[in-house]
Each structure stands twice: as structure tokens, then as C-alpha cells.
């Protein structure tokens, strides 16, 4: 369904009944990356998987898309749905948005799962590379430039060609303008260590042992940054555990939901 928030409409895949669980996708992806996770959790929970502003089926606006703006979108969406409090699961970029949400609306976060994400801001080099990629995507009006740049870092080396094509097909449901605006917003995000230290809700950090984007050191730093966090490392998994090991990810999330 589409939900009006501020100047756009957000699309959200909503299924199931019970306690609310919000699934926030990464870059350059859409809500569809969560299909297996949403289907599994919807047996006991009300699962809300939105497309972030400018991504997938959600509306476009002028960028850059700051993490705080994206968090405000999610708050407005939850207000429209009558949901006061939820467990948040953020993958990579979605983790950055979930952290911004927790800083702005901490009483609305029952639990927090950060999947292959990090607390640190971009280094100057990474921020510059994001801005350069955004400019290329815009100049050539081609989402495949971003997809081809990102794909080698998203999956473990042993992942199948079919899985690679699944990711590519999901990512192609984006626009050059949306991807460019999101890249610029990610490059501008602040370090979140100070936010994490003040959050008392149960937190689970999920890492892929073969992740070529977020290192295990990043994952350990993430878990250590919260007062009440644990770390789950999924073996043989890269940056996309919801596709590479959906059962392992579901197990980690159900453990968090039981806390």
C-alpha cells in the first residue's frame, strides 16, 4: 500500500498481525529484498517493509536524502498506520536510518536489529566515491552503473549466479535520480557512536563472515557500541543474509524478538 508522508507517498508491503516489526532495506535495493524474512515473521507479527524515499515504488523528491529525513518518513508512515512502537530491523543503509530513528524517537523503538551495518561515518575517501558515483549515475541516467559498482561487494564469493541476478533484478526497480540522491545522503551521515551509547533497548548486530562491505571489525564495533547488544556472525554469508542465509537471519531476529 501507499502511505502519504510529507511531500511524497511511501510504498510499504504490510502483512500479518501482532507486534509490529519494521524492515528497512539497504542500497541499492528495495523492500523486495525482505521477501523471505517478511513471509516468515508475518506468521506471528505485523511486518511492515517500506521502500525508502526515492527507492522502489516510493515517491521521488529532490535530494540529498539525509538519514534524519528518511527516519522522519518512517515515523510519519507509522503514525498513519496507527503504530506507536515497533521492533526495527535495518540492513546496511536501513541500519543508518534505524539509528537515526532511534535517536529521534527512541521511545518508539522496542528492539533494534542492525544487519551488516556500521556506526561509523564514511571516511573522506568513501564519501567522495559515493558522490562521484552519484554524478555518474545522473550523467548517464543509468541505474546499472550503481548496480555494477555495488554487486561485487554485496555477495560472498561462493554465491550462485542466480542469486546475483536476483539482486540485480531487485535493484533495477530504482531510478537514477533516487539512487543519486541516496548516495549523496549516505555520504553526509554523521558518526553514530554517541547515539548508540545512549540507547538502552535490546540490540542485535548481524554480520556476514564473508561480507566484503562491512568488516567483522565494523560489526564488533557496532555491537560494542550499545549497552545491551549481542553479535551474531553468519558463516559463509556476505552482505545480504536475508538472501544468503534467510534461516540464520530469521533465527537471530526471533531470538531478539524474544528479549
156-170 residue pLDDT tens: 876 788 899 999 999
89 neighbors 115 (Cβ within 8 angstroms)? yes
Percent residues over pLDDT 90 in the chain: 95
Does pTM top 0.85 for this prediction?
yes
Say yes or no to pLDDT of 180 above 80: yes
Residue 148 has what pLDDT? 94
Q: Higher confidence at residue 6 or residue 120? A: 120
Q: Looking at the predicted structure, is the pLDDT value of residue 82 above 80?
A: yes
Query: What pLDDT sits at residue 17?
Result: 97
**Strand-pair partners of 112:** 88, 203
Q: Which of these, 126, 123, 121, lies nearest to 190 by C-alpha position? A: 121
**Mean pLDDT, rounded, of the chain:** 97
CATH, residue 51: 3.40.50.1820
Number of domains in the chain: 1
Domain membership of residue 101 as a residue range:
2-257
DSSP state, residue 191: P
Per-residue model confidence (pLDDT) at position 45: 99
Q: What is the pLDDT of residue 66?
A: 98
Per-residue pLDDT at 100 exceeds 90: yes
pLDDT digits (tens, 9 = 90+) for 128-162: 999 999 999 999 999 999 999 999 889 887 678 88
- Phi-psi group of 141: left, alpha or beta (phi > 0 → left; psi -120 to 50 → alpha; rest → beta): left
Amino acid at each position: 500500500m501507499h502511505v502519504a508522508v510529507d511531500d511524497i507517498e511511501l510504498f510499504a508491503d504490510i502483512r500479518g498481525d501482532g507486534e509490529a516489526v519494521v524492515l528497512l532495506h539497504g542500497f541499492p535495493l528495495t523492500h523486495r529484498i525482505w521477501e523471505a524474512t517478511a513471509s516468515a515473521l508475518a506468521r506471528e507479527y505485523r511486518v511492515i517493509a517500506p521502500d525508502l524515499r526515492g527507492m522502489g515504488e516510493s515517491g521521488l523528491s529532490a535530494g540529498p536524502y539525509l538519514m534524519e529525513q528518511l527516519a522522519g518518513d518512517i515515523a510519519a508512515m507509522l503514525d498513519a498506520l496507527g503504530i506507536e512502537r515497533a521492533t526495527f530491523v535495518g540492513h546496511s543503509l536501513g541500519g543508518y536510518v534505524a539509528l537515526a530513528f532511534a535517536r529521534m524517537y527512541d521511545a518508539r523503538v522496542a528492539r533494534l536489529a542492525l544487519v551488516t551495518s556500521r556506526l561509523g561515518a564514511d571516511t573522506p575517501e568513501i564519501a567522495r566515491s559515493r558522490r562521484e558515483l552519484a554524478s555518474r549515475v545522473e550523467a548517464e541516467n543509468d541505474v546499472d552503473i550503481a548496480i555494477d559498482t555495488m554487486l561485487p561487494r554485496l555477495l560472498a564469493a561462493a554465491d550462485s549466479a542466480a542469486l546475483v541476478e536476483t539482486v540485480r533484478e531487485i535493484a533495477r526497480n530504482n531510478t537514477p535520480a533516487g539512487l543519486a540522491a541516496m548516495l549523496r545522503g549516505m555520504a553526509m551521515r554523521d558518526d553514530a557512536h554517541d547515539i548508540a551509547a545512549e540507547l538502552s533497548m535490546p540490540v542485535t548486530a548481524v554480520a556476514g563472515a564473508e561480507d566484503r562491505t562491512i568488516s567483522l571489525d565494523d560489526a564488533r564495533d557496532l555491537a560494542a557500541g550499545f549497552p545491551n547488544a549481542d553479535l551474531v556472525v553468519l558463516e559463509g554469508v556476505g552482505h545480504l543474509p536475508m538472501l544468503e542465509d534467510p534461516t540464520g537471519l530469521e533465527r537471530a531476529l526471533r531470538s531478539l524478538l524474544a528479549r
